[in-house]
Amino acid sequence: MEELLSLGADAAAVNATHESSLVAALRKDWRDLAAPLVRAGSDPNLPDRSGRTPLESAIGSRDLVLAKTLAAVGARPLNGSWGDALWKAYGYREIDACRLLLSLGVSPETKDARGRRPLQAALEDDRVDFLHLFLCYGADGKSLYYEACRRKRDYHAKLIAAHGGQPRSLPAPFLDTPLGLAIREGDSHTAFRLLARGARPDQPVAEGQSPLHLAIVLGRSGIVKELLKRGIDPNAALSTKVSDSFIKLVRGGTVRWLLKNDTNVTPIMLAADSGCSDTTRALLAAGARTSVWTKRNHMWPINIAARKSDVAMMRVLLGKDPVVEQRRIVVDLSDQRAVLYDSSGLELFKTSISTGRKGFSTPTGTYAITNKYRTWTSTLYDASMPCFQRLSCSDFGFHQGVVPGYPASHGCIRVPAGNAQKLFALTELGDRVEIQQ
């Protein structure tokens, strides 16, 4: 062939089917003639009888060495679009062909007919190998971090972040953040990674509140702790106007009502409603105040826990362990007796009592001692009630009084004078009280 070319053979000539000498040589697998034929005038972009150019055939057959040789001597994809070639290689899932095209300078940002970028397609198709390849060749992953989080593709999100895909807010009308989505999905690992990559821990999420507020109402205690570590104020009240979408996430009716009709609802109040002791303890450890109340209705955090009869939460708010209890009191309305037990169930103290008479019955249930007053005057009956111990922020409790041997009170639990003082000395705030029939 070289001798023919030296004698003046026309390398640019075509055969009866309009195929070039290059196509004919490659069909016979004379690969070493590719470059000499092109240099002698053979058109490297003339297609074969099936309409495929030599470069497309090389890519399609995964002959990347030949493809590189052809590209070096001027071969181009059909229609002159390198982007089309990249998309075709991706469609065949030919990762080596994609790598070759990218190494030859094809842009990884080339869009297909649907307006997608290769990186986006790889994410949608769950092809982490192609995702990594496109990122390595400079594809911009910033706008896809959110989508990777939404699809719960943790490894994909990690790759995007590692290649500089910093988290950023979505444009309108979404008005959300990747961090907000991670919190909503309960994806702690992604949330931590987002924060480590620079996501703002105070930027409002789709519901219009802070990430801390969202994490609390959804019970994401691990994320709450991480946000607090990053300096978020544990006492920052919710914004005055609370969206319906946020209110729907709140568990208890009391707090939902407060969010609609009151102000100065704080994180510790949301935690008291959430039932998540770990969240409340994290807030307290970070400096959350329990001596705070809503502006109009003067609702304290412990009032919210009491409304839900959440003894464990009341104990946490009072500085006690929610599970390990040193003592508990059992009140038996039938026997008119109260017994104090230690943590192992041993009886520490027993006393006769007098509970609510007909029309003023003492309610059954489980309570916590939320207030202790050695001297107290009833605000309902203007009566002296020494050694008063209020139960779950309600209007009744233990106090010193007359014990005639039968129910005689207005609902409180009367204890004889000497025993009332002993019981007062033996109990602490947060102790559980079980009242049973």
Q: Are residues 124 and 32 in the same domain?
A: yes
Domain membership of residue 275 (yes or no) is yes
**What range defines the domain where residue 365 resides?**
327-436
Say which residues have a Cβ less than 8 Å from residue 206's Cβ, sequence separation at least 6: 174, 175, 176, 177, 180, 245
Could you tell me the two tokens for 284?
Answer: 């307290």
Domain membership of residue 154 (yes or no) is no
Mean pLDDT of 137-156: 80
Q: Are residues 301 and 337 in the same domain?
A: no
Mean pLDDT of 193-221: 92
Q: Over 85-132, what HEC string results?
A: HHHHHHHCCCHHHHHHHHHCCCCCCCCCCCCCCHHHHHHHCCCHHHHH
Domain count, the chain: 3
The answer, yes or no, to whether residue 433 has pLDDT greater than 80, is yes
Could you tell me the two tokens for 229?
Answer: 């570590």
Say which residues have a Cβ less than 8 Å from residue 418's Cβ, sequence separation at least 6: none
- 14-28, 154-168, 253-267, 416-430, range with the lowest pLDDT: 154-168
Last residue of a domain, one of 136, 162, 190: 136
CATH number for position 368: 2.40.440.10
Could you tell me the two tokens for 428?
Answer: 């602490």
- 11-20, 204-213, 307-316, 425-434, range with the lowest pLDDT: 11-20
Question: Could you tell me the CA-to-CA distances from 353 to 333, 367, 400, 424 in Å, in that order?
Answer: 9, 17, 10, 14
Q: Are residues 311 and 342 in the same domain?
A: no
State residue 44's pLDDT score.
Answer: 80
Distance from C-alpha of 284 to C-alpha of 126, rounded to nearest angstrom: 42
Q: Are residues 300 and 354 in the same domain?
A: no
Beta bridge partners, 339, equal: 330, 350
Q: Are residues 17 and 78 in the same domain?
A: yes
The answer, yes or no, to whether residue 96 has pLDDT greater than 60, is yes
Last residue of a domain, one of 136, 162, 178: 136
Q: Are residues 11 and 99 in the same domain?
A: yes
Q: Are residues 24 and 75 in the same domain?
A: yes
Instruction: Tell me the pTM.
Output: 0.70
Q: pLDDT band at residue 344, thresholds of 50, 70 and 90? A: very high
State residue 159's pLDDT score.
Answer: 84
Domain membership of residue 91 (yes or no) is yes
- 52-56, 127-131, 271-275, 349-353, range with the lowest pLDDT: 52-56
Q: Across all residues in the chain, what is the average pLDDT?
A: 88
Helix orientation angle between 267-274 and 253-261, rounded to the nearest 10 degrees:
150
Q: Tell me if 413 sits within 8 A of 347, measured CB to CB.
A: no
Say which residues have a Cβ less than 8 Å from residue 12's Cβ, sequence separation at least 6: 20, 21, 40, 41, 42, 43
State residue 366's pLDDT score.
Answer: 97
Q: pLDDT band at residue 23, thresholds of 50, 70 and 90? A: confident
Compute the residue count for the chain.
Answer: 437
Mean pLDDT of 145-149: 76
Nearest to 292 by CA among 310, 317, 274: 317
- φ, ψ dihedrals at 404, nearest 5°: -85, -5
pLDDT digits (tens, 9 = 90+) for 245-269: 999 999 889 999 999 999 999 999 9
Domain membership of residue 87 (yes or no) is yes
Give the percent of the chain with pLDDT over 90.
56
The answer, yes or no, to whether residue 173 has pLDDT greater than 70, is no
Higher pLDDT, 102 or 40: 102
State residue 57's pLDDT score.
Answer: 80
Distance from C-alpha of 278 to C-alpha of 313, rounded to nearest angstrom: 10
Domain membership of residue 169 (yes or no) is no
Q: Are residues 111 and 69 in the same domain?
A: yes
Q: Which residues of 152-174 are buried (b: 16+ CB within 10 A; e: fewer)?
A: ebeebbbbbbebebebbbbeeee
Could you tell me the two tokens for 313?
Answer: 């939460």
State residue 174's pLDDT score.
Answer: 47
Higher pLDDT, 310 or 160: 310
Domain membership of residue 390 (yes or no) is yes
Q: Are residues 341 and 271 in the same domain?
A: no
Domain membership of residue 181 (yes or no) is no
Beta bridge partners, 59, equal: none
State residue 172's pLDDT score.
Answer: 44
State residue 255's pLDDT score.
Answer: 95
Q: pLDDT band at residue 394, thresholds of 50, 70 and 90? A: very high
Higher pLDDT, 377 or 334: 334
Q: Are residues 311 and 345 in the same domain?
A: no
Sheet holding 413-415, edge to edge: 347-352, 337-342, 327-332, 432-436, 365-373, 388-391, 397-400, 413-415
Q: Are residues 251 and 376 in the same domain?
A: no
Last residue of a domain, one of 265, 288, 317: 317
Domain membership of residue 164 (yes or no) is no
Which amino acid, 100? L
The answer, yes or no, to whether residue 323 has pLDDT greater than 70, is yes
- 178-192, 272-286, 308-322, 357-371, range with the lowest pLDDT: 178-192
CATH number for position 78: 1.25.40.20
Q: Are residues 304 and 347 in the same domain?
A: no
State residue 390's pLDDT score.
Answer: 97
Nearest to 144 by CA among 180, 168, 110, 126: 168
